[in-house]
Chain A
């Protein structure tokens, strides 16, 4: 089975369960002789708007899950007035580029929201 087909299966599973462990998923689905490195490459290059890998490339999360976690964090910080420190442990599970990318998107949406209010 090609990497693309396996990533399609991962995407379907993620739609229901929001996250999964790559090795466990391959084992449960009896997918043998698969190079995880190729799957990682496929996800990073072609599926990064739907799937986000953790910093160790062991788990895959739905974009929705990470986006909602960050967005609720931002709402919470607006409520408390505290700054969010993106270098803190809360964000260590993710790669820096994904943290920047998702926060950039959330900031853009919030600026759109402010535009409607002024």
Chain B
């Protein structure tokens, strides 16, 4: 995936978005957005013209050597358009009185943590298990070196979960059946990981004895 490819895709997305927005929202031209020009001058314009500006800016960037400072200005303008849409209730149904960061993260179409919001987590797993980890990740956003450590911790747990995910229903059935013989035939670490996704009170009759590498009933 090259830099030029990413910018071309972005330009196409903006074009499609512009066409769709013009088609569906008649009063789009009434909304004004602030754009940052390459000469650092700020310009207020109609939202519809804002899209033309973004597309043209990307074209210019693609034709010359791409510099971070130019993209920085482009991205600030894109962000203002995102912001304008989020601010406009009739366009996007966001309630800004609530935690927008949380709302965005809980949206399974754009969240970086899509897995946490998939059905299996929604229905069966205590999401609070991850709440602290997600909060710490959010708090560490000001420092990449802290962030990467927190991310590693959370991501490795999610990755391990992905590996046992296919066996999820099977583990649940075995634990609920109380058949210790079958349960002890499974990998102890996997059962332990599976168990960690549930609230403490769930399956509290099952004791995983790490020292003796056995699973027993209390």
A34 at interface by CB-CB < 8 Å: no
Q: A118 and B20: CB pair below 8 A?
A: yes
Structural contact, A15 and B66, CB atoms closer than 8 A: no
* Contact assessment for B68 and A101 in the assembled complex, using a CB-CB cutoff below 8 Å: no
A24 is an interface residue with CB less than 8 A from chain B: no
Q: Would B104 and A78 count as touching, CB distance under 8 A? A: yes
- Assess whether A38 is interfacial by the CB under 8 Å rule: no
**Interface: B138 (CB within 8 A):** yes
Are B151 and A18 neighbours in the complex by a CB distance under 8 Å?
Answer: yes
Complex interface: chain B residues within 8 A of A75 (CB): 100-101, 104-105
B181 an interface residue at 8 Å Cβ cutoff? no
Q: Is A5's CB within 8 Å of the partner chain B? A: no
* Cβ of B69 under 8 Å from chain A: yes
CB contacts (< 8 Å) of B100 on chain A: these are 75, 78-79
Knowing A112-B13, A117-B91, the reply to whether A87 touches B68 (Cβ < 8 A) is: yes
Question: Which listed residue (B9, B17, B82, B159) contacts A115, Cβ 8 A?
Answer: B17
Given A85-B72, A116-B109, A18–B156 Cβ distance below 8 Å? yes
B residues within 8 A CB of A99? 68, 71
Contact string against A for B residues 10-28, beta-carbon threshold 8 Å, 1 for contact and 0 otherwise: 1001101100110011000
B residues sitting closer than 8 Å to A (CB atoms) are 1-3, 6-7, 9-10, 13-14, 16-17, 20-21, 24-25, 66-69, 71-72, 75-76, 78-80, 82-83, 85-86, 91-93, 99-101, 104-105, 107, 109-110, 112, 137-138, 141-145, 147-148, 151-152, 155-156, 159
A-B contact pairs, 19 of them (CB 8 A): A17-B152, A18-B151, A18-B156, A64-B155, A67-B112, A76-B141, A78-B79, A78-B104, A84-B75, A87-B69, A87-B72, A97-B66, A101-B3, A104-B7, A108-B10, A113-B109, A115-B20, A117-B93, A118-B24
